[in-house]
Amino acid sequence: MRVLMRGNEAMAEGAIRAGCRCYFCYPITPQGELVEYMARHLPRHGGVFLQAESEVAAINMVYGAAAAGVRTMTSSSSPGISLKMEGISYLAGARLPAVIVNVMRAGPGLGNIAPAQGDYFQATKGGGHGDYRLIVLAPSTVQEAAELVMLAFDLSDRYRVPAMILADGMLGQMMEPVELPEPIPPEKIPPRPWAVSGAKGRPPNVISSFDLDPYRFREILRALWDTYREIEEKEVRWEEYATEDAELVLVAYGTMGRICRTVVRRARKEGLRVGLFRPISLWPFPSEPLRKLAERVPVLLTVELSAGQMWEDVRLAVEGRAKTPFYGELGGVVPTPDEVLREVKKHVHS
Protein backbone atom coordinates (compact mmCIF):
# COMPACT_ATOMS: atom_id res chain seq x y z
CA MET A 1 0.00 0.00 0.00
CA ARG A 2 1.32 3.42 -0.91
CA VAL A 3 1.43 6.08 1.76
CA LEU A 4 2.08 9.79 1.33
CA MET A 5 5.18 10.69 3.33
CA ARG A 6 7.77 13.39 3.69
CA GLY A 7 11.35 12.46 2.84
CA ASN A 8 12.35 13.06 6.45
CA GLU A 9 9.62 10.72 7.68
CA ALA A 10 10.47 8.05 5.11
CA MET A 11 14.11 8.07 6.24
CA ALA A 12 13.03 7.66 9.85
CA GLU A 13 10.63 4.84 9.01
CA GLY A 14 13.33 3.19 6.86
CA ALA A 15 15.70 3.27 9.84
CA ILE A 16 13.12 1.67 12.14
CA ARG A 17 12.39 -1.03 9.55
CA ALA A 18 16.14 -1.66 9.21
CA GLY A 19 16.27 -2.47 12.91
CA CYS A 20 17.70 0.82 14.19
CA ARG A 21 16.99 0.77 17.91
CA CYS A 22 19.09 3.67 19.17
CA TYR A 23 18.68 7.13 17.67
CA PHE A 24 20.42 10.21 19.02
CA CYS A 25 19.92 13.72 17.74
CA TYR A 26 20.06 17.40 18.29
CA PRO A 27 17.27 19.24 16.43
CA ILE A 28 17.93 21.38 13.36
CA THR A 29 15.94 22.47 10.31
CA PRO A 30 15.26 21.15 7.64
CA GLN A 31 15.33 17.65 9.14
CA GLY A 32 13.02 18.31 12.11
CA GLU A 33 10.33 15.85 10.96
CA LEU A 34 12.89 13.02 11.10
CA VAL A 35 13.48 13.77 14.77
CA GLU A 36 9.75 14.09 15.47
CA TYR A 37 8.99 10.82 13.72
CA MET A 38 11.66 8.97 15.67
CA ALA A 39 10.46 10.48 18.94
CA ARG A 40 6.93 9.27 18.22
CA HIS A 41 7.63 5.85 16.73
CA LEU A 42 10.99 4.44 17.90
CA PRO A 43 9.97 3.83 21.54
CA ARG A 44 6.98 1.78 20.31
CA HIS A 45 9.47 -0.57 18.69
CA GLY A 46 11.40 -0.96 21.90
CA GLY A 47 14.06 1.51 20.78
CA VAL A 48 15.75 4.41 22.49
CA PHE A 49 15.11 7.96 21.28
CA LEU A 50 17.33 10.49 22.95
CA GLN A 51 17.64 14.18 22.26
CA ALA A 52 21.19 14.92 23.34
CA GLU A 53 22.57 18.15 24.74
CA SER A 54 24.55 18.79 21.55
CA GLU A 55 25.49 17.32 18.19
CA VAL A 56 28.84 16.27 19.63
CA ALA A 57 27.11 14.35 22.42
CA ALA A 58 24.72 12.71 19.95
CA ILE A 59 27.44 11.31 17.69
CA ASN A 60 29.37 10.00 20.69
CA MET A 61 26.22 8.27 21.91
CA VAL A 62 26.06 6.68 18.46
CA TYR A 63 29.65 5.52 19.01
CA GLY A 64 28.66 3.95 22.31
CA ALA A 65 25.53 2.24 20.98
CA ALA A 66 27.38 0.95 17.92
CA ALA A 67 30.19 -0.42 20.10
CA ALA A 68 27.58 -2.21 22.19
CA GLY A 69 26.29 -3.88 19.03
CA VAL A 70 23.06 -1.97 18.33
CA ARG A 71 21.97 -0.64 14.95
CA THR A 72 22.13 3.10 15.53
CA MET A 73 21.64 6.37 13.69
CA THR A 74 21.91 10.12 14.04
CA SER A 75 20.70 12.86 11.74
CA SER A 76 21.36 16.54 11.31
CA SER A 77 21.83 19.28 8.76
CA SER A 78 25.06 20.80 7.45
CA PRO A 79 26.46 22.85 10.40
CA GLY A 80 25.29 20.13 12.78
CA ILE A 81 27.10 17.52 10.71
CA SER A 82 30.28 19.61 10.94
CA LEU A 83 30.01 19.37 14.71
CA LYS A 84 29.72 15.59 14.44
CA MET A 85 32.81 15.20 12.30
CA GLU A 86 35.26 14.29 15.04
CA GLY A 87 32.94 11.51 16.19
CA ILE A 88 32.43 10.28 12.64
CA SER A 89 36.20 9.98 12.19
CA TYR A 90 36.35 7.98 15.44
CA LEU A 91 33.57 5.67 14.19
CA ALA A 92 35.53 5.10 10.99
CA GLY A 93 38.75 4.45 12.91
CA ALA A 94 37.08 2.05 15.32
CA ARG A 95 35.31 0.20 12.47
CA LEU A 96 31.88 0.77 13.95
CA PRO A 97 28.78 0.49 11.78
CA ALA A 98 26.41 3.44 12.06
CA VAL A 99 24.23 5.59 9.82
CA ILE A 100 24.43 9.38 9.66
CA VAL A 101 21.79 11.36 7.77
CA ASN A 102 22.68 14.82 6.47
CA VAL A 103 19.69 16.81 5.18
CA MET A 104 21.81 19.50 3.57
CA ARG A 105 21.12 23.21 3.72
CA ALA A 106 23.06 26.01 2.08
CA GLY A 107 26.41 26.95 3.65
CA PRO A 108 29.12 27.69 4.61
CA GLY A 109 28.64 28.93 8.15
CA LEU A 110 25.10 29.03 9.48
CA GLY A 111 23.95 29.60 5.92
CA ASN A 112 20.21 29.18 5.41
CA ILE A 113 17.76 26.29 5.46
CA ALA A 114 17.12 26.12 1.70
CA PRO A 115 18.16 22.99 -0.22
CA ALA A 116 21.80 22.77 -1.33
CA GLN A 117 24.52 20.23 -2.11
CA GLY A 118 27.55 21.99 -0.73
CA ASP A 119 28.51 19.19 1.66
CA TYR A 120 29.63 16.76 -1.06
CA PHE A 121 33.32 17.25 -0.31
CA GLN A 122 32.72 16.89 3.42
CA ALA A 123 30.76 13.66 2.92
CA THR A 124 32.90 11.93 0.30
CA LYS A 125 36.42 13.15 0.93
CA GLY A 126 36.84 13.15 4.66
CA GLY A 127 35.24 15.94 6.59
CA GLY A 128 36.71 14.55 9.75
CA HIS A 129 40.43 13.99 10.19
CA GLY A 130 42.51 11.05 9.05
CA ASP A 131 42.62 8.41 6.34
CA TYR A 132 39.05 7.20 6.08
CA ARG A 133 36.01 6.98 3.86
CA LEU A 134 32.29 6.87 4.43
CA ILE A 135 29.83 4.98 2.28
CA VAL A 136 27.71 7.85 0.93
CA LEU A 137 24.28 7.31 -0.64
CA ALA A 138 22.20 10.06 -2.24
CA PRO A 139 18.43 9.48 -2.57
CA SER A 140 16.48 11.32 -5.24
CA THR A 141 12.90 10.37 -4.34
CA VAL A 142 11.08 9.77 -1.08
CA GLN A 143 10.82 6.07 -2.00
CA GLU A 144 14.57 5.90 -2.51
CA ALA A 145 15.13 7.78 0.76
CA ALA A 146 13.43 4.95 2.69
CA GLU A 147 15.22 2.24 0.71
CA LEU A 148 18.70 3.76 0.87
CA VAL A 149 18.54 4.25 4.62
CA MET A 150 17.84 0.53 4.93
CA LEU A 151 20.66 -0.26 2.51
CA ALA A 152 23.00 2.04 4.44
CA PHE A 153 22.45 -0.05 7.58
CA ASP A 154 23.17 -3.27 5.67
CA LEU A 155 26.31 -1.97 3.96
CA SER A 156 27.58 -0.36 7.14
CA ASP A 157 27.20 -3.69 8.96
CA ARG A 158 28.70 -5.77 6.16
CA TYR A 159 31.88 -3.70 5.92
CA ARG A 160 31.99 -2.18 9.42
CA VAL A 161 32.23 1.25 7.80
CA PRO A 162 29.90 4.10 8.79
CA ALA A 163 27.45 5.16 6.08
CA MET A 164 26.03 8.58 5.34
CA ILE A 165 22.78 9.49 3.61
CA LEU A 166 23.29 12.76 1.77
CA ALA A 167 19.87 14.32 1.24
CA ASP A 168 18.80 17.96 1.09
CA GLY A 169 16.05 20.19 2.39
CA MET A 170 13.84 19.69 -0.63
CA LEU A 171 13.84 15.90 -0.40
CA GLY A 172 13.41 16.11 3.36
CA GLN A 173 10.39 18.41 3.16
CA MET A 174 8.53 17.11 0.11
CA MET A 175 5.85 14.41 0.20
CA GLU A 176 5.55 11.59 -2.27
CA PRO A 177 3.86 8.18 -2.31
CA VAL A 178 6.03 5.46 -0.78
CA GLU A 179 5.71 1.70 -0.86
CA LEU A 180 7.49 0.96 2.41
CA PRO A 181 9.90 -1.99 2.23
CA GLU A 182 9.31 -4.96 4.54
CA PRO A 183 11.06 -4.62 7.91
CA ILE A 184 14.30 -6.56 8.33
CA PRO A 185 13.64 -9.33 10.88
CA PRO A 186 16.04 -9.21 13.89
CA GLU A 187 17.54 -12.61 12.97
CA LYS A 188 18.64 -11.19 9.58
CA ILE A 189 20.77 -8.51 11.24
CA PRO A 190 24.38 -9.75 11.18
CA PRO A 191 25.78 -10.98 14.51
CA ARG A 192 28.36 -8.74 16.19
CA PRO A 193 31.02 -10.96 17.75
CA TRP A 194 33.25 -7.87 18.06
CA ALA A 195 30.80 -5.85 20.16
CA VAL A 196 31.48 -4.87 23.77
CA SER A 197 28.33 -6.59 24.91
CA GLY A 198 29.53 -8.16 28.18
CA ALA A 199 32.55 -10.50 28.25
CA LYS A 200 31.10 -13.23 30.43
CA GLY A 201 32.47 -16.55 29.18
CA ARG A 202 34.64 -15.06 26.45
CA PRO A 203 37.77 -12.92 26.18
CA PRO A 204 36.95 -9.20 26.35
CA ASN A 205 36.55 -7.25 23.11
CA VAL A 206 38.27 -3.92 22.67
CA ILE A 207 36.86 -1.15 20.46
CA SER A 208 39.43 1.51 19.75
CA SER A 209 40.27 3.94 17.00
CA PHE A 210 44.00 4.06 17.59
CA ASP A 211 47.24 2.17 18.13
CA LEU A 212 50.27 4.07 19.36
CA ASP A 213 52.64 1.76 17.50
CA PRO A 214 52.86 3.09 13.92
CA TYR A 215 53.63 -0.35 12.46
CA ARG A 216 50.65 -1.99 14.12
CA PHE A 217 48.42 0.99 13.27
CA ARG A 218 49.59 0.77 9.68
CA GLU A 219 48.31 -2.82 9.52
CA ILE A 220 44.94 -1.78 10.93
CA LEU A 221 44.63 0.97 8.32
CA ARG A 222 45.82 -1.30 5.51
CA ALA A 223 43.02 -3.69 6.40
CA LEU A 224 40.62 -0.74 6.43
CA TRP A 225 41.76 0.37 3.00
CA ASP A 226 41.47 -3.20 1.67
CA THR A 227 37.83 -2.96 2.75
CA TYR A 228 37.45 0.38 0.94
CA ARG A 229 38.86 -1.19 -2.26
CA GLU A 230 36.33 -4.03 -1.91
CA ILE A 231 33.51 -1.50 -1.47
CA GLU A 232 34.69 0.33 -4.59
CA GLU A 233 34.50 -2.94 -6.52
CA LYS A 234 31.13 -4.13 -5.27
CA GLU A 235 28.96 -1.26 -4.13
CA VAL A 236 28.89 1.26 -6.95
CA ARG A 237 25.33 2.34 -7.71
CA TRP A 238 23.94 4.68 -10.33
CA GLU A 239 21.00 5.18 -12.69
CA GLU A 240 21.04 6.02 -16.37
CA TYR A 241 18.02 7.52 -18.11
CA ALA A 242 17.76 8.01 -21.88
CA THR A 243 21.52 7.80 -22.38
CA GLU A 244 21.51 5.27 -25.29
CA ASP A 245 21.60 7.79 -28.13
CA ALA A 246 22.43 10.91 -26.11
CA GLU A 247 24.64 13.70 -27.39
CA LEU A 248 24.64 15.34 -24.00
CA VAL A 249 24.24 13.65 -20.66
CA LEU A 250 23.40 15.53 -17.48
CA VAL A 251 25.28 14.30 -14.42
CA ALA A 252 23.35 15.12 -11.26
CA TYR A 253 22.42 13.49 -7.96
CA GLY A 254 19.73 13.79 -5.31
CA THR A 255 17.19 16.57 -5.79
CA MET A 256 19.10 17.96 -8.77
CA GLY A 257 19.03 14.46 -10.28
CA ARG A 258 15.24 14.33 -10.30
CA ILE A 259 14.91 17.88 -11.63
CA CYS A 260 17.24 16.86 -14.46
CA ARG A 261 14.90 13.95 -15.26
CA THR A 262 12.26 16.54 -16.15
CA VAL A 263 14.88 18.45 -18.15
CA VAL A 264 15.59 15.29 -20.19
CA ARG A 265 11.88 14.81 -20.93
CA ARG A 266 11.47 18.43 -22.07
CA ALA A 267 14.65 18.30 -24.15
CA ARG A 268 13.52 15.07 -25.83
CA LYS A 269 10.16 16.68 -26.67
CA GLU A 270 12.12 19.37 -28.49
CA GLY A 271 14.14 16.76 -30.35
CA LEU A 272 17.32 17.20 -28.33
CA ARG A 273 19.16 13.96 -27.57
CA VAL A 274 19.75 14.47 -23.87
CA GLY A 275 20.13 11.85 -21.14
CA LEU A 276 20.80 11.63 -17.42
CA PHE A 277 23.49 9.88 -15.39
CA ARG A 278 22.55 9.90 -11.72
CA PRO A 279 25.12 8.69 -9.18
CA ILE A 280 23.33 6.97 -6.27
CA SER A 281 26.49 6.02 -4.37
CA LEU A 282 28.58 9.18 -4.16
CA TRP A 283 31.27 7.14 -2.50
CA PRO A 284 32.14 4.82 -4.06
CA PHE A 285 31.69 7.19 -7.02
CA PRO A 286 30.55 5.49 -10.26
CA SER A 287 33.73 6.45 -12.10
CA GLU A 288 33.95 3.40 -14.35
CA PRO A 289 30.43 3.60 -15.85
CA LEU A 290 30.87 7.34 -16.30
CA ARG A 291 34.17 6.78 -18.11
CA LYS A 292 32.46 4.29 -20.43
CA LEU A 293 29.71 6.81 -21.11
CA ALA A 294 32.31 9.49 -21.91
CA GLU A 295 33.68 7.27 -24.69
CA ARG A 296 30.47 7.68 -26.70
CA VAL A 297 28.86 10.89 -25.38
CA PRO A 298 30.61 14.14 -26.36
CA VAL A 299 29.28 16.35 -23.55
CA LEU A 300 28.72 15.50 -19.87
CA LEU A 301 27.10 18.50 -18.19
CA THR A 302 27.36 18.32 -14.39
CA VAL A 303 24.55 20.12 -12.55
CA GLU A 304 24.76 20.67 -8.80
CA LEU A 305 23.37 22.86 -6.05
CA SER A 306 26.96 23.88 -5.32
CA ALA A 307 29.87 25.64 -6.97
CA GLY A 308 31.02 22.33 -8.47
CA GLN A 309 32.04 19.64 -5.99
CA MET A 310 30.96 16.34 -7.56
CA TRP A 311 32.19 17.99 -10.77
CA GLU A 312 35.75 17.19 -9.64
CA ASP A 313 34.95 13.47 -9.47
CA VAL A 314 33.26 13.64 -12.87
CA ARG A 315 36.39 15.17 -14.42
CA LEU A 316 38.65 12.65 -12.69
CA ALA A 317 36.51 9.82 -14.06
CA VAL A 318 36.25 11.19 -17.58
CA GLU A 319 39.93 12.22 -17.92
CA GLY A 320 39.34 14.40 -20.96
CA ARG A 321 37.37 11.80 -22.96
CA ALA A 322 34.41 14.19 -23.22
CA LYS A 323 33.69 17.84 -22.61
CA THR A 324 32.73 18.38 -18.97
CA PRO A 325 31.01 21.75 -18.52
CA PHE A 326 29.36 22.70 -15.23
CA TYR A 327 26.16 24.45 -14.19
CA GLY A 328 25.38 25.15 -10.57
CA GLU A 329 23.42 27.34 -8.22
CA LEU A 330 24.47 28.69 -4.84
CA GLY A 331 22.97 29.79 -1.57
CA GLY A 332 19.91 27.55 -1.61
CA VAL A 333 18.63 28.68 -5.03
CA VAL A 334 17.24 25.68 -6.91
CA PRO A 335 17.20 25.99 -10.70
CA THR A 336 13.91 25.14 -12.42
CA PRO A 337 13.85 22.60 -15.27
CA ASP A 338 13.60 25.42 -17.84
CA GLU A 339 16.68 27.13 -16.43
CA VAL A 340 18.69 23.92 -16.75
CA LEU A 341 17.28 23.37 -20.25
CA ARG A 342 18.55 26.81 -21.31
CA GLU A 343 22.01 25.74 -20.14
CA VAL A 344 21.71 22.44 -22.03
CA LYS A 345 20.98 24.35 -25.24
CA LYS A 346 24.32 26.11 -25.01
CA HIS A 347 26.00 22.77 -25.56
CA VAL A 348 23.71 20.75 -27.84
CA HIS A 349 21.89 21.58 -31.06
CA SER A 350 18.72 20.07 -32.53
Partner 1 sequence: MEIGVIFAGFGGQGILLAGKVLARAGMDQGFEVTWLPSYGPEMRGGTANCTVVIADEPVGSPIVDSPQILVAMNGPSFERFAPKVAPKGTIVANSSLISQGASRGDVRTLFIPMNEIAQDLGEPRCANMVALGATVKALGLLPLAAVIAAMEEELGARGREKLLAVNREALLRGYSLA
Query: Residues 26-55 vs partner 1: string with x where CB under 8 A?
Result: ---xx-------------------------
Pick the stretch among 47-55, 62-70, 172-180, 295-303 that binds partner 1 (CB under 8 A).
Answer: 172-180
Nearest-CA neighbor of 58 among 33, 36, 86, 29? 86
Backbone angles phi, psi at 327, to 5 degrees: -135, 125
Smallest distance from partner 1 to CB 242, Å:
12
User: What is the full DSSP assignment across 246-277?
Assistant: -SEEEE--HHHHHHHHHHHHHHHHTT--EEEE
Q: At what angle do helices 32-41 and 7-17 cross, to 10 degrees?
A: 40
Q: Does 176 bind partner 1 (CB under 8 A)?
A: yes
Q: Does 208 bind partner 1 (CB under 8 A)?
A: no
> Which residues does 302 contact at the CB level (< 8 Å), separation at least 6?
250, 251, 252, 308, 310, 311, 314, 324, 325, 326, 327, 328
Which residue, 170 or 293, is less far from partner 1 as judged by CB?
170
Smallest distance from partner 1 to CB 173, Å:
5
Q: What residues numbered 73-112 form the site for partner 1, per CB under 8 A?
A: none
Which residue, 65 or 303, is less far from partner 1 as judged by CB?
303
Q: Does 300 bind partner 1 (CB under 8 A)?
A: no
Smallest distance from partner 1 to CB 271, Å:
19
| Share in percent of the chain as helix, strand, coil (round to 5) | 40, 20, 35
Q: Does 113 bind partner 1 (CB under 8 A)?
A: yes
Indicate which single residue of 173, 243, 306, 324 sits in contact with partner 1 (rule: CB under 8 A): 173
Indicate which single residue of 22, 145, 263, 267 sits in contact with partner 1 (rule: CB under 8 A): 263
Indicate which single residue of 43, 108, 177, 190 sits in contact with partner 1 (rule: CB under 8 A): 177
Smallest distance from partner 1 to CB 257, Å:
9
Backbone angles phi, psi at 13, to 5 degrees: -65, -40
Smallest distance from partner 1 to CB 165, Å:
19
Q: Does 174 bind partner 1 (CB under 8 A)?
A: yes
* Cβ atoms of residues 275 and 244 within 8 Å: yes
The half-sphere exposure of 17 on its side-chain side, counting CA atoms within 13 A, is: 19
Q: Does 145 bind partner 1 (CB under 8 A)?
A: no
Nearest-CA neighbor of 94 among 44, 161, 152? 161
Total chain residues near partner 1 (CB under 8 A): 26
Report the alpha-carbon distance of residue 265 to residue 121 in Å, rounded: 30
Report the alpha-carbon distance of residue 317 to residue 102 in Å, rounded: 25
Specify the 3-state DSSP secondary structure of 72.
strand
Q: Does 338 bind partner 1 (CB under 8 A)?
A: yes
* Cβ atoms of residues 30 and 172 within 8 Å: yes
Q: What residues numbered 114-133 form the site for partner 1, per CB under 8 A?
A: 114
Smallest distance from partner 1 to CB 7, Å:
10
Task: Give the CA distances from residue 174 to residues 4, 74, 148, 178, in Å, rounded to whole numbers and listed in that order.
Answer: 10, 21, 17, 12
Q: Does 169 bind partner 1 (CB under 8 A)?
A: yes
Residues of the shown chain interacting with partner 1 in the complex, contacts defined by CB under 8 A: 2, 4, 29-30, 113-114, 141, 169-170, 173-177, 258-265, 334, 336-338
